[in-house]
Amino acid sequence: MRSSISLGRIGGVPVGLNVSVLVIVVILVVGLAFGRFPIAFPGLPTAAYVLAALVSAVLFLASLLAHELAHAIVARRHDVEVTGITLWLLGGVAQLRGEPRSPGADLRIAGVGPLTSVVLGGLFALVTWGVSAVGGPALVSGMFGYLAAVNVLLAVFNLIPAAPLDGGRVLRAFLWARWGDRLRAAVAAARAGRVFGYTLIVLGFLNLVSGLGFQGLWLALIGLFLVNAASAEEQQTQIDAALHGIKVAEVMSRHPITAHPGETVAGLIDRLVLRHHLSTYPLVDDDGRFAGLVTLGRVRAVDPGRREVTPLREIACPPPDVPSARPDDLLTELLQRMSGSADGRAVVLDDGRIVGLVTPSDISRTIQTVDLRAREPYRTPRGADLAPHAPGGPPAGGPTSGGPSSSGTIRSAGRRDAA
């Protein structure tokens, strides 16, 4: 669910559109301009219906954005980082990095989205009444009436107690408060999401065989999304709990082989790549400071004819863009910073000097052997007055709702709200 079109920042939060949102726009415009509006308000020019449909589609997307912004604002007030908001095919995603530290915070972050949609529904209903009261065009009144109904339906649907919907978050908060165990509550909410998703798939299939083609296909698509998102969320929750308390020093590959920023790509290949067969080479300058990261993918992207004259500094990922950590940082904290990084690697620094690397292989190996480690079992805190935890693991720290874009062990939490 990455943004394809940037809309800038709102309150410091990057906002964008995934190209798939255009499908929603087309469906809304065609359905309203050549279906709903001509039937409800006959006798008007086609251009009027198309204009009203376009305005409705834009205001609907604005409503989705307001829903997600509400999540983001409340999340930031509870010290949960918001990395971006994306509108896509099935609604919106507020990408959160970390998790709420108490059931109350979880409930407030989840509940504010549907509440915002209900408020918007009321405002659109008020505008509908106002236009009718002053004798305005019936098409305009009908347009705002449609938006009022859609926002209320959006709120109701998202309150269904099934992760990754907002209702799943509400269920998780309730179970967390009742059981005192966030992991157990999150798993229960995710499994409820899978059950609901499979139910929608079955209903969609029944609609398809009954002749209601598009409606059935849409239900099945939403159901498939929910099943995948809920499954990924359950897996991610269990992984976060398993990795809780593990420090970066326990995972990193020590004493990485380094190169100089001024060395050429051809020199790196001859001196290191063909000998050591590694995929990652940190760059270190004359003062021993970390100066960038080169991977085999970046090396292969250089035209063979230019490898002799291209210095590594030109193809390296610059230091500010490489996730970094100290040896005593928690792994769950680093994984949150690695989410979305270009090369999927992180460097471990001690006073600016590189002492280790964390690669996908290191993370995979840790997950495979985590059950062999002798350490205290993870326990979630009880109550709302919790001491500050590091973001990234359970209580110490994704669809908001985790979701289908989760992959492996690195992800940004995100609230997914279906349109």
Catalytic center residues? 68
C-alpha 383/C-alpha 390 separation (Å) is 17
Q: Could you tell me if residue 82 is left (phi over 0), alpha (psi between -120 and 50 degrees) or otherwise beta?
A: beta
- Which residue carries 């834009």 as its tokens? 58
Look at residue 412 and give its three-state secondary structure: coil
Q: What angle do CA 8, 11, 17 make, to 5 degrees?
A: 35
How far is it, in rounded angstroms, from Cα 337 to Cα 325? Answer: 9
Give yes or no for a contact between 113 and 159, defined as CB atoms under 8 angstroms apart: no
Q: What residues form DSSP beta bridges with 5?
A: 17
Rounded CA-CA distance 215/204 in Å is: 7
Q: State the Cα–Cα distance between residues 311 and 279, nearest whole angstrom.
A: 18
DSSP track, 235-294: HHHHHHHHHTT-BGGGTSEES---B-TTSBHHHHIIIIIHHH--SEEEEE-TTS-EEEEE
CB 359 within 8 A of CB 226: no
In angstroms, rounded to a whole number, what is the distance separating the alpha carbons of residues 129 and 198?
40
* Residues 95 and 83 sit within 8 Å (Cβ to Cβ): yes
Residues in the chain: 419
Integer Cα distance of 62 and 58 in angstroms: 6
| Rg of the chain in Å (alpha carbons) | 25
- Report the candidate in 57, 55, 50, 56 with the shortest Cα–Cα distance to residue 34: 50
Task: Compute CA distances 32 → 24, 28, 249, whole Å.
Answer: 12, 6, 58
Rounded-to-integer distance, Cα 264 and Cα 152, Å: 60
